[in-house]
Amino acid sequence: MPLFSPVTKAEIIICRDVEALSRRAAEQFISLARAAMAAHGNFTVALSGGSTPKALYSLLATEEFSAQLDWRRIHLFFGDERCVAPDHAESNYRMVHESLLAKIAIPGANVHRLRGEDPPPLAAQAYEAELRRHFGAAALPRFDLALLGLGEDGHTASLFPGSLALNEVAGWVAAAYVEKLSAHRLTLTFPLFNNVAQVSFLVAGASKAGVLAAILQDSTADYPAARIKPNAGGLTWFVDHAAAEQLASPALN
């Protein structure tokens, strides 16, 4: 039985552990893919980096789930990327390739990589052009699904506290220096994420319990992830018991 946040009205699905969370998210992925393909012939997804989303990708790559998907009609984009080469240990593309892309029959043209190896401003410009090519002259791209993780500091994608990317409202892709990482990051911006048809967060582990409770229960919480509120779309938090530890269930209906 899902719960709902009194603050964000988001659906909260609490699962036993990260495996159960990944399974619920994979079931949602299949369901959304079927609906999107029936509605407009393809399914466009913005992927997240991080270890929790990685567990979902590994599950989607299994025969049980992969065989239910027509990868020829699925387009995979990246919600953010580190400014490194695609074969670098830190690369989100490398993580997605190892956990999913190398195990499924998806056409290369359907995988839209954020070029972390390029100068960040050029990579951001090039990705905006890629988005325009895929979504057409749409005022704002509308992904069918965006998968997101949550950092202990309340970041999501590469929208970090204090980052200039938080204030980007005209651009679709931001290249911003992240002080705490001493590195640049590439990220889709709030206007894009908040135009997505379905945003699903994947959050596991006790270290996320405090920030998750703040985002879902404290209307004054000012974390970047709290600003993800799809204008006309769904918002679901798939969380494990450890991350949900501080959720005051009576506060959730």
Rounded to a whole number of angstroms, the CA Rg of the chain reads 17
163 closest CA partner among 181, 145, 144: 181
Q: With contact defined as beta carbons under 8 Å apart, do 141 and 195 qualify?
A: yes
Residue 224 or 233: the one with the smaller Cβ distance to ligand 6PG is 224
> Largest Cα–Cα distance in the chain?
49
Residue 182 or 253: the one with the smaller Cβ distance to ligand 6PG is 182
Minimum CB–partner distance for residue 149 and ligand 6PG (Å): 2
The residue at minimum Cβ distance from ligand 6PG is 149
Residue 38 or 225: the one with the smaller Cβ distance to ligand 6PG is 225
Minimum CB–partner distance for residue 234 and ligand 6PG (Å): 19
Residue 42 or 47: the one with the smaller Cβ distance to ligand 6PG is 47
- In whole angstroms, how far apart are CA 243 and each of 1, 5, 205, 253? 17, 15, 5, 18
In this structure, which amino acid lies at residue 204? A
User: Which positions touch ligand 6PG (CB under 6 A)?
Assistant: 48-52, 80, 92, 149-151, 155-158
Residue 116 or 233: the one with the smaller Cβ distance to ligand 6PG is 116
Minimum CB–partner distance for residue 47 and ligand 6PG (Å): 9
Minimum CB–partner distance for residue 1 and ligand 6PG (Å): 25
Cα–Cα distance for residue pair 126/234, rounded to 1 Å = 28
Interhelix angle 18-40/51-60, nearest 10 degrees: 60
Minimum CB–partner distance for residue 222 and ligand 6PG (Å): 17
Minimum CB–partner distance for residue 250 and ligand 6PG (Å): 28
Residue 33 or 225: the one with the smaller Cβ distance to ligand 6PG is 225
How big is the CA angle at 95 (ends 89 and 98), to the nearest 5 degrees?
Answer: 110
Strands 43-47 and 74-78, bridge-based pairing: parallel
Residue 3 or 178: the one with the smaller Cβ distance to ligand 6PG is 178
**Long-range pairs for 160-163: beta carbons < 8 A, 24 or more residues apart:** 160/185, 160/224, 161/223, 161/224, 163/224
Minimum CB–partner distance for residue 122 and ligand 6PG (Å): 20
